[in-house]
């Protein structure tokens, strides 16, 4: 997963996450989640573990027995946001003296016990692989001791826990398939905060999807730091695959096969996945997407830079030429595919020529969307240890501005390609701008808004696209899709 570019909807970013409460639960949990979809899915796993401990979720901070913030560490700004939230909790804790405060996620893993020294309000520090230990850690806290568990696991996939859906629209949900990342991109903290790659048993993945389908969910996003690296051979770290038995290797299940299993078993369910990695992506995945109408024709395919020398400095295991070949094959196999990107402006040593290579690559691909940031040095990464953050902030900002401007031009170009077409849209909620309009996404992951008429949340509707902006398509419903 290209870090947190693929952030969760800003509507729930940092907002109290809730679910239906149970009468028998007496304790109150206030939980917030920052960063990526993996963190959001982990917050749902944490809510499920604490539901068993008698916790209901609440949106009222002042009445909480336990406050948990699931943190992100991908950029300095993400960590500053968390520290500001902790200050807010501090004010409330002066009133609600029994309230316990815990930090979860990547920042907790990066700082470990140091978090307790740096932020006195914190009672509990729990890393992404230690959530099952929460009941024990809370016991320690309730006995007046601070508690820390930041052990990274070789096995843990939380495959045996059915996440409690938080702030759910009842239509689309995330299902995690892998954890951790073995690619050591020099700018990235993820391998240090989420550990080595391990994949989840396909049986438990299909079971969880089945439970969602039974609850009438219509779309599932398969989640992983690097979904293309998915490989099930009985459990354990991916790097130990070669040590597995011949039988285990021969019967291993890779991402293309898992995708085929999901789409075949649940033909009426829409599938998406995030996030891909160009160096691990196989064309089998693209052929599987072409084979199944219910696998959405959209891939988030981060590249970070269009320059070979910067890609090398980032330790990305591909060249710009190899990436462009992959893109060419993708468009050949599925011409209507839309791609989105992650881009970092101003990485260590980046020259003006390198920056021009990035703009040139974007011109060749014409992404429909992008997550673009100025390079932010992260403590503990290889780049921080070995490379000079030598591109000035002014240059980073200017280059980022040029990348964003070009992306906006391409987003409009891609949006205009949909005008005049009739597209299948899954209704996911009310439009932010107009209560009389529904919003949903087409198979290419572009947001579509249209008048509500008699259509309902969770229905697949055919919409005639009449107009667009850089980010949104506008249209009128012309009937139900045959997938409804």
276 binds ligand SF4 (CB under 6 A): no
The residue whose two tokens read 């820390």 is 148
Q: Whole-angstrom Cα distance, residue 198 to residue 16?
A: 30
- 97 burial class (0-12, 13-18, 19+ CB within 10 angstroms)? exposed
Question: Taking the complex as a whole, how short is the minimal distance between the CB of residue 469 and ligand SF4, in angstroms?
Answer: 30
What is the spatial order of strands in the sheet that 219-223 belongs to? 172-176, 219-223, 270-274
Do the Cβ atoms of 100 and 67 come closer than 8 Å?
yes
As measured in angstroms, the least distance from the Cβ of 422 to ligand SF4 is 36
Q: What is the largest CA-CA distance in the chain?
A: 65
Question: Interaction with ligand SF4 in 105-144: which residues (CB under 6 A)?
Answer: none
Beta bridge partners of 293: none
Instruction: Tell me the closest approach of the beta carbon of residue 223 to ligand SF4, in angstroms.
Output: 12
Binding residue (CB under 6 A) for ligand SF4 from 153, 157, 269, 277: 277
Q: Which residues contact 181 (CB under 8 A, 6 or more apart)?
A: 1, 188, 190, 191, 194, 196, 197, 225, 226, 229
How do 219-223 and 270-274 pair as beta strands?
A: parallel
As a whole number of angstroms, the distance between CA 462 and CA 480 comes to 6
Q: For ligand SF4, which is the closer residue by CB, 293 or 312?
A: 312
Size of the site for ligand SF4 (CB under 6 A): 12
CB of 348 to ligand SF4, least distance (A): 15
Supply the minimum distance, in Å, between the C-beta of residue 254 and ligand SF4.
17
Using the minimum distance from each CB to ligand SF4, give the nearer residue, 260 or 280.
Answer: 280
317: contact with ligand SF4 by CB under 6 A: no
Q: Which residues pair with 237 in a beta bridge?
A: 198
3-state secondary structure of 288: helix
- C-alpha 212/C-alpha 262 separation (Å) is 13
Q: Per CB under 6 A, does 39 bind ligand SF4?
A: no
142 token code pair: 């309730």
Q: Which residues contact 140 (CB under 8 A, 6 or more apart)?
A: 146, 147
Among residues 289 and 301, whose Cβ is nearest to ligand SF4? 301
If the CB atoms of residues 191 and 440 are measured against ligand SF4, the closer one turns out to be 191
Q: How far is the CB of 410 from ligand SF4 (least distance, A)?
A: 22
Encoded one letter per residue, x for contact with ligand SF4 by CB under 6 A and - for no contact, window 207-246 reads: ------------------xx--------------------
Residues of span 177-206 touching ligand SF4 by CB under 6 A: 181, 183, 185, 188, 190-191
- The owner of tokens 């996620």 is 105
Which residue stretch of 1-9, 27-35, 243-251, 398-406 sits at the interface with ligand SF4 (rule: CB under 6 A)?
1-9
Query: Shortest gap between Cβ of 430 and ligand SF4 (angstroms)?
Result: 34
User: In the complex with ligand SF4, which residue's Cβ is closer, 128 or 191?
Assistant: 191
How near is the Cβ of 185 to ligand SF4 at its closest, in Å?
A: 3
What is the strand order of the sheet 369-374 is part of? 298-300, 338-345, 369-374
Binding site for ligand SF4 (CB under 6 A): 1-3, 181, 183, 185, 188, 190-191, 225-226, 277
């Amino acid at each position: 997963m290209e870090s947190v570019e693929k952030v969760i909807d800003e509507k729930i970013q940092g907002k109290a996450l809730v679910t239906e409460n149970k009468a028998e639960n007496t304790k109150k949990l206030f939980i917030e989640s920052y960063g990526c979809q993996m963190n959001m899915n982990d917050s749902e796993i944490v809510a499920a573990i604490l539901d068993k401990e008698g916790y209901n979720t609440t949106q009222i901070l002042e009445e909480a027995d336990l406050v948990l913030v699931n943190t992100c560490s991908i950029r300095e700004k993400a960590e500053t946001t968390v520290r500001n939230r902790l200050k807010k909790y501090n004010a409330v804790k002066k009133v609600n003296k029994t309230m316990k405060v815990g930090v979860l996620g990547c920042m907790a893993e990066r700082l470990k016990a140091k978090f307790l020294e740096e932020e006195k309000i914190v009672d509990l520090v729990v890393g992404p692989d230690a959530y099952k230990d929460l009941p024990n850690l809370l016991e320690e806290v309730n006995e007046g001791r601070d508690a820390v568990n930041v052990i990274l696991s070789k096995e843990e996939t939380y495959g045996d826990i059915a996440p409690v859906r938080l702030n759910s629209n009842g239509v689309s949900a995330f299902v995690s398939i892998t954890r951790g990342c073995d690619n050591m991109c020099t700018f990235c903290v993820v391998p240090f905060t989420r550990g080595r790659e391990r994949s989840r048993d396909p049986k438990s993945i299909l079971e969880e999807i089945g439970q969602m389908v039974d609850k009438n969910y219509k779309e599932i996003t398969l989640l992983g730091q690097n979904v293309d690296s998915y490989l099930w051979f009985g459990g354990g770290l991916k790097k130990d695959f070669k040590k597995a038995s011949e039988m285990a290797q021969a019967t291993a299940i890779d991402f293309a096969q898992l995708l085929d299993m999901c789409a075949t078993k649940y033909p009426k369910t829409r599938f998406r996945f995030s996030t891909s990695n160009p160096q691990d992506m196989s064309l089998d995945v693209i052929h599987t997407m072409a084979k199944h109408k219910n696998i959405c024709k959209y891939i988030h395919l981060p590249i970070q830079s269009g320059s070979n020398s910067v890609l090398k400095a980032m330790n990305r295991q591909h060249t710009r030429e190899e990436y462009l070949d992959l893109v060419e094959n993708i468009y050949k196999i599925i011409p209507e595919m839309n791609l989105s990107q992650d881009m970092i402006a101003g990485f260590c040593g980046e020259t003006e020529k390198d920056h021009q290579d990035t703009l040139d690559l974007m011109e060749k691909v014409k992404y429909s969307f992008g997550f673009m940031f100025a390079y932010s040095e992260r403590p503990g990464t290889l780049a921080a240890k070995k490379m000079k953050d030598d591109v000035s902030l002014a240059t980073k900002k200017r280059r980022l501005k040029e990348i964003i401007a070009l992306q906006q031009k391409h987003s409009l170009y891609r949006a205009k390609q949909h005008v005049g077409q009739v597209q299948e849209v899954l209704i996911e909620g009310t439009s932010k701008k107009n209560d009389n309009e529904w919003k949903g996404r087409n198979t290419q992951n572009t947001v579509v808004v249209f008048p509500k008429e008699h259509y309902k949340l969770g229905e697949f509707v055919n919409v005639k696209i009449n107009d667009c902006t850089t980010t949104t398509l506008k249209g009128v419903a012309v009937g139900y899709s045959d997938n409804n």
